[in-house]
Amino acid sequence: MDSIRIVGGAELNGRIPIAGAKNACLTLMPATILTDEPLTLTNAPRLSDIRTMTTLLQSLGAEVAGLQGGQVLAMSSHDLTSVHADYDIVRKMRASILVLGPLLARFGRAEVSLPGGCAIGARPVDLHLKALEAMGAEIDLAEGYVKARAPAGGLKGAVIDFPLVSVGATENALMAATLAKGTTVLNNAAREPEIVDLAHCLRRMGAQIEGEGTATITIQGVERLGGATHPVVVDRIELGTYMLAPAITGGTVECLGGRMELVGAFAEKLDAAGVSVEQTKDGLKVSRKNGRVSAVDVTTEPFPGFPTDLQAQMMALLCTAEGRSTLHETIFENRFMHAPELTRMGARIEVHGGSAVVTGVERLKGAPVMATDLRASVSLILAALAAEGETVVSRVYHLDRGYERVEEKLGACGATIERIREA
């Protein structure tokens, strides 16, 4: 298993290109199942999660070719041969459940392994299943699989009231509804930019959708969808992560492709902490306003609130802030696993259930630490950039799920960072 070695203390200055969004790409790829014509995604990120989705789609008989080094994904589900998403692939990545809605909508049948829990929480899929049941699907849970069947005439439009906001359930229902008979209304739908991007792509494919980006999405089912070419939206979580780099080390970094509307609530917190964020023609330019940043309180919420996927990275910054900050995690029940690792680097953090109180210290100190999940691992990298001395972050396969070329991107701005490859 590879690890990453960082010697902290250097200011970061330069420009970092932000890739296409992992979480958008992971829902845009299954959209290929909805049509027998080619779907091409440009600006795709080069990540292990994308390779896992590729393997899953190929196991169903789809063609998926990575062109231009993987930045273009040319897909076709013309000759799909299977509706069975196997446990061996699904267990590697929960987003695999996103093939369920499209399979059911186009083929009337799907068998998808239940993804099970994961490190950050239980993460059930009941809302995905209820939405599809409301559209007429019959669903059985047997031998660890979701076995779903559409009624004889195909899925039917329905009014679906989500009891809580779920990104994945909104995506599955949205994709399924594009081919259902009649009108579907999704109430309390997720408003994340990845949902908006999915709706844009589906519309290019011929879907009739209104209201994406608001809490109510209305879909008028169509007979069939066609091919399209669609650019994946910028990754707001990668963007936010790199915005934190100069905030924690000092210096000025311009995140290329960054747009304020993708990170509004997050940028407001940075501003309150004493970090300036400026929209330029190429992206977002970030630097500290004065010396040390100040403590701020943060509560994670569905978009447009502060994203749970930036909570760990924000905690790394607040470990070095002047004063005491409280972070409330409201989306996942177990998303503070980075706290004990940050503590190994000299941070002062107390976790009580869904809240963490961070008392800032002047300087973190390098230490050997271990990545526990994707966002936790990058929070350790941010902390290490600011820490005195050497940090080795092990188990970086978590990092590779969601960040491409971290060493190159940070190294180009002056960080001392290298990957230690295990033979």
Q: Which of residues 4-43 bind ligand EPZ (CB under 6 A)?
A: 23, 26
Min dist CB 265 to ligand EPZ, Å, is 13
- Give the length of the chain: 423
Residue 260 in the binding site for ligand EPZ (CB under 6 A):
no
Q: Which is nearer to ligand EPZ, 188 or 220 (CB)?
A: 188
Q: In the complex, what is the shortest distance from the CB of residue 220 to ligand EPZ, in angstroms, rounded to a whole number?
A: 24
Total chain residues near ligand EPZ (CB under 6 A) = 23
Nearest distance from C-beta of residue 56 to ligand EPZ, angstroms: 13
Q: Is 182 in the site for ligand EPZ (CB under 6 A)?
A: no
Nearer to ligand EPZ, 309 or 404 (CB): 309
Q: Which of 178, 402, 406, 415 binds ligand EPZ (CB under 6 A)?
A: 402
Of 43, 178, 308, 311, the residue at the interface with ligand EPZ (CB under 6 A) is: 308
* Token representation of residue 329: 């995690």
Are β-strands 208-210 and 216-220 bridged in parallel, bridged antiparallel, or unpaired?
Answer: antiparallel
Task: Name the closest residue to ligand EPZ (Cβ).
Answer: 168
Cis peptide upstream of residue 304 (ω within 30 degrees of 0): yes
332 binds ligand EPZ (CB under 6 A): yes
> Considering only 148-156, 166-174, 346-354, 363-371, which stretch makes contact with ligand EPZ by CB under 6 A?
166-174
Token pair in block for residue 47: 């990540």
Q: Which is nearer to ligand EPZ, 370 or 413 (CB)?
A: 370
Give the DSSP per-residue string, 86-132: -HHHHTT-GGGGGGHHHHHHHHSEEEEE----BTTB----HHHHHHH
164 is a contact residue toward ligand EPZ (CB under 6 A): yes
| Residue 176 Rama label (left phi>0; alpha psi -120 to 50; beta) | alpha
Q: For residue 110, give the nearest of 133, 92, 85, 87 by alpha carbon.
A: 85
The CA distance from 25 to 193, in Å, is 12
User: Count of alpha carbons within 13 Å of 183, Cβ hemisphere only?
Assistant: 7
In this structure, the strands spanning 390-394 and 3-7 are antiparallel
What residues have CB less than 8 Å from 10, skipping those under 6 apart? 249, 385, 414, 415, 416
Residue closer to ligand EPZ by CB (options 100, 105) is 100
**Positions in 72-101 near ligand EPZ (CB under 6 A):** 94-95
Q: Which of 401, 399, 309, 393 is nearest to 345 (CA)?
A: 393
> What do you get for the CA distance between the two ends of the chain, in Å?
8
Smallest gap, in angstroms, from Cβ of residue 347 to ligand EPZ? 21
The residues, ordered by sequence, that sit 6+ positions from 177 with a Cβ below 8 Å of its Cβ are 105, 135, 155, 157, 184, 186, 219, 221
- Could you tell me the smallest distance in angstroms from the CB atom of residue 259 to ligand EPZ? 18
Beta pairing, strands 14-17 & 252-256 = parallel
Nearer to ligand EPZ, 73 or 321 (CB): 73
- Let me know if 138 is exposed, middle or buried by CB neighbors in 10 A (0-12, 13-18, 19+): exposed
Position among 288, 375, 398, 409 found at the interface with ligand EPZ (CB under 6 A):
375
Rounded to a whole number of angstroms, the minimum distance from the CB of residue 143 to ligand EPZ is: 20
Taking the least distance from each CB to ligand EPZ, the nearer of 287 and 300 is 300
Q: Which listed residue (25, 118, 255, 319) is catalytic?
A: 118
Q: Which parts of 106-135 interact with ligand EPZ (CB under 6 A)?
A: 121, 123-128
185-204: which residues touch ligand EPZ (CB under 6 A)? none
Q: Which two tokens stand for residue 151?
A: 């009624």
140 is a contact residue toward ligand EPZ (CB under 6 A):
no
Told to check if 365 binds ligand EPZ by CB under 6 A, we report: no
Closest of 258, 323, 357, 254 to residue 16, by C-alpha: 254
Query: Is 118 marked active-site?
Result: yes
Smallest separation (angstroms) from ligand EPZ to the CB of 339: 16
Give me the active site residues, please: 118
Which stretches of the chain bind ligand EPZ, using CB under 6 A? Answer: 23, 26, 94-95, 121, 123-128, 164, 166-169, 308-309, 331-332, 374-375, 402
